[in-house]
Amino acid sequence: MVTETALARAKVNLCLHVTGQRADGYHLLDSLVVFAGTGDQITVSPADRLSLRITGPQAANLPVSDDNLVLRAARLFGDLGAQITLDKHLPIASGIGGGSADAAATLKALSRLWGLELPNAAQVLGLGADVPVCLAGHSARIQGVGEQVTELPHPLPTAWMVLVNPGVAVSTPMVFRGLENRNNAPMPAQLPKFTDLAAFAAFLAAQRNDLEPPALAIAPMIGTVKQALAAQKGCYLARMSGSGATCFALFATEYAANMAAQTITQMYPSWWVQSASMVD
């Protein structure tokens, strides 16, 4: 049987500035996004009708429903049949774009399976603000409501990441509702060339995640996660990703990241902890 697979990498917001709000309620963002070398996997094969099966360690937290982003993405191609399997490894509602990455991977896999062009930009954006950058699949600057995906002018330094989620699902709409200020400063118009990870981390430290304070108010455990990451040897930066509750830390080597992940897992065995490369 013909099958196609696509990796749905975790999306990490290294910084996220909320710079305004449109009349329709959508927030304007300015964010630096990278991907991690870990994620979910989508497998598709021909079938008479469209169906979804969810497997993997996070499957119990995501029951199959008709409004799953994977199925919504598949329907953009029309009334076609396919058996879709989502092997779910990323925690849900966790600020690392799991659902959006799954949708983007579904679009890629089905496009190859059916030999069809990808849906247009407006349709892709209609699935969610993170889907366009997940479809691009490379580090980028995200602006507007997510539709402006700009490739970075220079390659980023090599780095490894540790991603940690304490098992707390955070509602993105609730986080945005908790914002005190919706008109914050963006990143510099021109991003510099970073000579090494230390320079890159210093730049990021001068930026922000404007969603972190309201997310902390909803889930104070996020503060504990950040502290645990920041305390690890070799950590250059620890911050919350997206709307939370997943936090990340940057490390210079795979060894340092793996050691940090092992230490945190020993300290908090119920947390989801993953070390991975930072994919430029």
Q: Is 88 considered catalytic here?
A: no
Question: 230-238: long-range contacts at Cβ-Cβ below 8 A with a sequence spacing of 24 or more?
Answer: 232/162, 232/256, 232/259, 232/260, 232/263, 232/264, 233/259, 233/260, 234/259, 234/260, 235/260, 236/159, 236/197, 236/198, 236/201, 237/201, 237/204, 237/205
Residue 258 CA: distances (Å) to CA of 172, 230, 246, 270: 29, 15, 17, 17
| CA–CA dist 190, 71 (Å, integer) | 38
Question: How many residues in the chain?
Answer: 280
Q: Which helix (H) or strand (E) holds 88?
A: none
Q: Which of 40, 130, 210, 226 is catalytic?
A: 130
Q: Which two tokens mark 114? A: 């059916």
Contact indicator for 77, 113 with CB cutoff of 8 Å: no
Contact indicator for 197, 250 with CB cutoff of 8 Å: yes
> What's the start-to-end Cα distance of the chain, in Å?
34
| CA–CA dist 45, 194 (Å, integer) | 43
Q: In this structure, what is the dihedral angle of CA atoms 184, 170, 261, 34, given to the nearest 10 degrees?
A: -50
Q: Which of 11, 88, 108, 226 is catalytic?
A: 11
Q: Is 130 considered catalytic here?
A: yes
Q: What is the DSSP letter of 209?
A: B
Catalytic center residues = 11, 130
